[in-house]
Chain A
Amino acid sequence: MGHSHAAGHGHGHGHGHGHGHGHDHSHDHHHPNTELDASTLAALDESVPDSDLSPTEVSRRGLLRSAGILGGTAALAVTGAQFAAATAPKDGWIFNHGNRPNVWLAGDHHIHTQFSSDGMYRVIDQARHAAAYGLDWLVITDHGGATHARIGVDLVNPQIKAARSELKDTLIFQGLEWNIPAAEHGTIFVAPGSREVEVLKQFENSYDGSVKNAGANTAANEALAVSGIQWLGQQVDKRRVADALFLANHPARNGIDSPHEIRNWRDADPRIAIGFEGAPGHQAGGLPKGIGTGGARGIYGNSPNANSFPAYPPESYRTWGGFDWMTATVGGLWDSLLAEGKPWWISANSDSHNNWNETARRPDGSSQEQFDRDGRYMDPVYGNQVLPTNSDFWPGFYSRTHVGADRRDYLSVMEGLRNGRMWVDHGMLAKGVEVEVREVGKRYGEPLGGALVVRKGRPVELVVRITAQTMPNWANFVPTLNRVDVIQGAVTGHVSDRDTFAAPKTKVVRQWDTSGKRGTFELVHPLGRVEEASYIRVRGTDGHRSQPGYHGAAVDPAGPALDVVGDADPWVDLWFYTNPIWVLPK
């Protein structure tokens, strides 16, 4: 299938930031004195006379003088080596003309097994449940780390191959959960082939943040992450593996995936770095005590720490309607990437380690020492008790990533993911969601992830084709889709501050009441005559929990609500989100 997408429908645009344009993004996020703001630094600088200071600065200087702190500023000059991340962004818009998918395949790219130091299940346990709960594809992603890099990455492969031959209709990828240097975790996976283990193992030993002791938020570690993504692209170029992808996991959980890191990953190789989890796993984490663990939905319950990006607000550390704040916020971080014209996609996964209401356990003698020695825990045994305090659901039980593929095979799933031809849902909220943008009067348009290039002034429309759910979900009720929202944003081009995480020209432009609708129905939203570049994305909800969005009711009057720690029942707060479609005037 190759990687012709980079060239396929390259769009010559009029924003003056094409390939030849210099990259002036200054990496001043590594400014040595990021803790202190400009007026404090001015107040401290005794070479600046009082008369040149603003009233605030004068008052600060007074405070500092009376505290006896002035005169010590030489201490601030000490910094480590500062350098810009060694990225060479491949600039310009890289858009696809998308094909309409022939088949929708549901999957999950974030699943752990007994080869994770905090996991339990065999590969076949996860794969059989995933298949039974309706998934077509899955990725086994055990944690990167010393033991996994030494033997786990080898030992899991025979289990994966055995599961592939046992479950003929299920596509089972081998991947790993990368400790991204200087950041959170991410899914790395490759197309099956004779070198899948070799490439993953080499990647993990060279670029895993745990293996390389590169977890801290430093410029050198950020650069290592970028190199890792580029290295994966090179393995595809060299045909060691037919394809490879990277998606960041639970990006806002601890505030440690800064906006510039996400942009740097994406720009490192947009063929490989394609998106992040719009909704994290661990969705049972907020079930109230009595039936659950009474913690935070998604296990998003922390507060900022040393490696956190200081500008992220407290709101970003919680899920909203089960979704990560970067995705749930209309006009937020995800939209800021889309508004730049950067394709970047969202997924939804289980992150299954130990599932809610599990009755199995690790056998006696299966300890951390045993894991470190053998590279895996021993097979689970029946535990004679039920564990409602586990935070995870089985793959397919609650979260699904639906990928539009040409065929039911490994490379087609990867290509569908790369093209952003996907939507995600919780609790089987909808049976089918097809979205396209087309010129009025034309029969076909662009599907999810695509870019419709039309002559300026032509009228275009958004068509959302929903198939209402008829089957009960895995909590055994038929969910109802009561509202569908359209979100539109202007494409305003590259941002000079790579730590931007707001898109002020993005907002909810349409809300449809879809309660009571049955079967397959079409919702059409006229987008007017095309004058400016824009993008459109769609979400829907059961309508049970809403609140004005983070940027206010004028931007998002009824967005997902902040999930309450200890009181977030995921089954009564269901959403679907689609990826975007761009509209670009010629």
Chain B
Amino acid sequence: MIVAVDADSRDTAEADHLLYELLEAVDQPVVACTHMVHGGDRPHVAVSLAVAADIAEPIRALLADRFAGVAITQPGASQPELSGPSQLVRGAYVAAVEAALGTAGRVVRWPGHEQGRGVLRAAELRARAGIDHLEAVGGLPITDDALVDTLDFLRPVRREGQLVLQLQPAAGNLLIPFELQHQQKCCADH
């Protein structure tokens, strides 16, 4: 099933934290993603969880007092169960669609993510962490034995059902993730 939640997270860091909370209620393999919601009143970030078991109850309980839109989909159901304020239900629905299709989304947890730590050779990282493609910005080629420092923080993206990890060159002939955990907030007035 897919459970998608739009709690109007301002950015990916805030959405990650929402996911960490929701993941507390899940004790089995899960694909957890963030999804950009650009339409509507204000751009923000929604999240989704795709799991085999039924996690609707614990997630509902967790979100009971939250201002959030929720889309809960059961395989084969004629329609999803939608709840929450309408502008956030919209984002949750978009997230559910992207999660179902695997066409978009930034992946926070997936089976194999726990293997994506430390410094690994590219081929090893792909095989161990279950990543389909490694891709470097600027068209840099990546050989199987290229060293990747995961910085213990990987956020691959989904593209056409595949898991793609974007990398960038770094000092010391290493590759590091394109997305770094600490994003520079610009200036004090922001």
Contacts and interface: CB of A to CB of B under 8 A. Distances in A.
Given A72-B93, A301-B180, A318-B137, A35 B80 contact: no
B71 A72 contact: yes
A99 interface: no
A215 B80 contact: no
Contacts of A500: none
Contact of B76 (A66, A72, A306): A66
B90 interface: yes
A204 B48 CA distance: 40
Contacts of A301: 180, 183-184
Contact of A44 (B97, B179, B180): B97
Contacts of B24: none
Nearest to B43: A306
A304 B36 contact: yes
Contact of B78 (A71, A144, A148, A217): A71
A506 interface: no
B103 interface: yes
Given A40-B101, A314-B166, A118 B10 contact: no
Given A75-B89, A564-B171, A35 B36 contact: yes
Contacts of B75: 66-68
A472 to B, nearest CB: 27
Nearest to B86: A78
Given A145-B189, A306-B10, A71 B36 contact: no
A306 B45 contact: yes
A34 B80 CA distance: 21
A117 interface: yes
Contacts of B35: 35
Contact of B80 (A69, A303, A306, A562): A69
B90 A78 contact: yes
Contacts of A32: 39-40
A566 B73 contact: no
B47 interface: no
Nearest to A565: B170
Main secondary structure of the interface of A (DSSP, over half): loop
What range describes how many residues of B lie at the interface? 35 or more
Contacts of A308: 36
Interface string B163-190: 0001011111000101110011011111
A78 B1 CA distance: 24
B74 A305 contact: no
A118 B171 contact: no
A315 B138 contact: yes
A146 B189 CA distance: 8
B115 interface: no
B136 to A, nearest CB: 9
Contact of A218 (B41, B94, B138, B180): B41
Interface in A273-301: 288-289, 294-296, 299, 301
A289 B171 contact: yes
Interface string B34-71: 01111111111100000000000000000000000001
Residue among A36, A37, A294, A368 with the highest chain B CB neighbour number at 10 A: A36
B134 interface: no
A73 B184 CA distance: 37
A33 interface: yes
Contacts of A148: 189
Given A34-B38, A68-B80, A143 B169 contact: no
B96 A80 contact: no
A185 B100 CA distance: 37
A216 interface: yes
B189 A179 contact: yes
Given A35-B39, A118-B188, A310-B38, A72 B169 contact: no
A305 B11 contact: yes
A306 to B, nearest CB: 4
Residue among A76, A116, A561 with the highest chain B CB neighbour number at 10 A: A76
Nearest to A314: B137
Interface in A49-98: 60, 63-64, 66-73, 75-76, 78-80
Interface in B74-121: 74-80, 82, 86-87, 89-90, 92-94, 96-98, 100-101, 103-104
B49 to A, nearest CB: 13
A389 interface: no
A215 B189 CA distance: 11
B39 A253 contact: no
Contact of A306 (B11, B77, B82): B11
B101 A60 contact: yes
A35 B37 contact: yes
B171 A64 contact: no
A356 B186 CA distance: 18
A340 interface: no
B105 to A, nearest CB: 10
B45 to A, nearest CB: 5
14 contacts: A64-B101, A68-B74, A70-B79, A72-B82, A75-B92, A143-B187, A145-B188, A288-B171, A295-B184, A305-B36, A314-B166, A317-B178, A564-B168, A564-B170
Given A35-B39, A288-B171, A310-B38, 4 more contacts: A33-B39, A145-B188, A289-B171, A306-B12
* Nearest 3 Cβ contacts at the A-B interface: A71-B79, A80-B41, A68-B77
Interface of B: 1-2, 9-12, 35-45, 71, 73-80, 82, 86-87, 89-90, 92-94, 96-98, 100-101, 103-104, 137-140, 166, 168-172, 176, 178-180, 183-184, 186-190
